Amino acid sequence: MADIMMWEAIMRAHDEEMANDPMVIAMGEDIGVVGGTYKATTGLYDKYGEQRVIDTPISENGYTGLGIGASFLGVRPIIEIMSVNFAWLAMDQIFNTAAKVRYMSGGQLQAPVVIRSPGGTAHQLGSQHSARMEKVFMGIAGLRVVTPSSPRQAYGLLKSAVRCNDPVFINEHELMYNMRGDVPEDEYFHPLEGSEITREGRDVTLFGYNISVHWCLKAAELLSKHHGIEAEVVDLFTLSPLDREGIRNSVSKTHRAVIVEEAEPAVGVGAEVMAVINEECFFELDAAPMRVSALNVPIPYNHAMEKAALPDENNVVEAVRNMFGV
């Protein structure tokens, strides 16, 4: 195993896939000469040149459409949108073209394109740079959506996404690029479907994805230490297609569920997971499922207000204590 940061894992995946297949290219704002806002493409421009590592204009709709169009002809683009907040500008290309072209062409065309973009709330970036948009992407038929919670997942998911013939959106979290973790030294491909149990438990299931997985793990330790409650933590690294079987299996084991997300609760990941639980596990439940999420407000710039708007492990502990009445 290699102990590396998430941005290094993403860079390694880029490098290996570009070396493996000359049709793999990378494109986005400042990914070339600069090496990417979060260093995830460092060194690739010097190694592969400007025709395969393409610095684009500030035109998300334009370069995303260019990459998707190239994918129709056999190119396998990895498109970086510098911030998921700017992906709003490329939604027409992603939702109306990449996600639908195979279906609308009767299988004559496919879009093997990867779009990766950092999102989530970093430190004092303000409302227009703190979007949590995963719930929007996961609602689009024809588009795969994955979100890594570790360097291992970031590396393996990107490699699998590049070789997938479906369009894949990779939702990364801005605060996790410097997170360290073990990544296999041998080539590793992570499944694009499913979920992972990151902590075994018997009393309640905590569902999370990307950064909220780590809040769940911290909360599980606190619950075990102070309250004798053993929580199972499930990492929903795939948001579309959602792992309904994995959700069902864990809830059938623990009979309680808390879904944890950084985003606002309305029409969110937590709402969809709760729907699965109610539809498929209702008679397994010993308590009503609960959600832990952000306040339904634009993220403030002020540091204290920003922190107050977001959940953390303490909110997860409080939700579980309320569920158990302790």
**End residue of a domain, out of 122, 152, 183:** 183
Taking alpha carbons only, the member of 219, 212, 224, 232 closest to residue 314 is 219
Asked, for residue 189, whether it belongs to a domain, the answer is: no
Asked, for residue 174, whether it belongs to a domain, the answer is: yes
Residue 130, pLDDT score: 83
SS3 177: coil
Query: Looking up tokens 């996790």, which residue turns up?
Result: 176
Residue 47, pLDDT score: 97
Do 110 and 209 reside in the same domain of the chain? no
DSSP letter string over 155-193?
A: HHHHHHHHT-SS-EEEEEEGGGTT-EEEE-SS-----SS
Distance CA 185, CA 187 (A): 7
Asked, for residue 125, whether it belongs to a domain, the answer is: yes
Active site residue 306: no
Residue 72, pLDDT score: 97
Distance CA 165, CA 106 (A): 15
Cis, peptide link before residue 112, omega less than 30° from 0: no
Distance CA 151, CA 176 (A): 9
Cβ(53)–Cβ(25) below 8 Å: yes
SS3 114: strand
Cβ(292)–Cβ(259) below 8 Å: yes
Asked, for residue 218, whether it belongs to a domain, the answer is: yes
**Domain span at residue 261?**
196-324
Distance CA 129, CA 300 (A): 11
Query: Looking up tokens 């700017």, which residue turns up?
Result: 86
Residue 270, pLDDT score: 96
Residue 123, pLDDT score: 84
Do 166 and 212 reside in the same domain of the chain? no
**End residue of a domain, out of 158, 183, 208:** 183
Do 11 and 151 reside in the same domain of the chain? yes
Do 120 and 169 reside in the same domain of the chain? yes
Residue 196, pLDDT score: 98
> Could you count the other beta carbons within 10 Å of the beta carbon of residue 19?
11
Active site residue 245: no
Residue type, 164: C
Cβ(213)–Cβ(205) below 8 Å: no
DSSP 50: T
Residue 64, pLDDT score: 98
107-131 pLDDT, tens digit each:
999 999 999 999 999 888 888 888 8
β-bridge pairing 257-260 and 168-173:
unpaired
Domain count, the chain: 2
Residue 219 sits in a domain whose CATH number is 3.40.50.920
pLDDT in tens, the chain (326 residues): 899 999 999 999 999 999 999 999 999 999 999 999 999 999 999 999 999 999 999 999 999 999 999 999 999 999 999 999 999 999 999 999 999 999 999 999 999 999 999 999 988 888 888 888 999 999 999 999 999 999 999 999 999 999 999 999 999 999 999 999 999 999 999 999 999 999 999 999 999 999 999 999 999 999 999 999 999 999 999 999 999 999 999 999 999 999 999 999 999 999 999 999 999 999 999 999 999 999 999 999 999 999 999 999 999 999 999 999 98
**Annotated catalytic residue, options 8, 29, 60, 134:** 60
Return the half-sphere exposure (C-beta side, CA atoms, 13 A cut-off) of residue 119. Answer: 27
DSSP 298: P
Cβ(14)–Cβ(26) below 8 Å: yes
What token pair was written down for 233?
């933590």
SS3 193: coil
Distance CA 56, CA 22 (A): 20
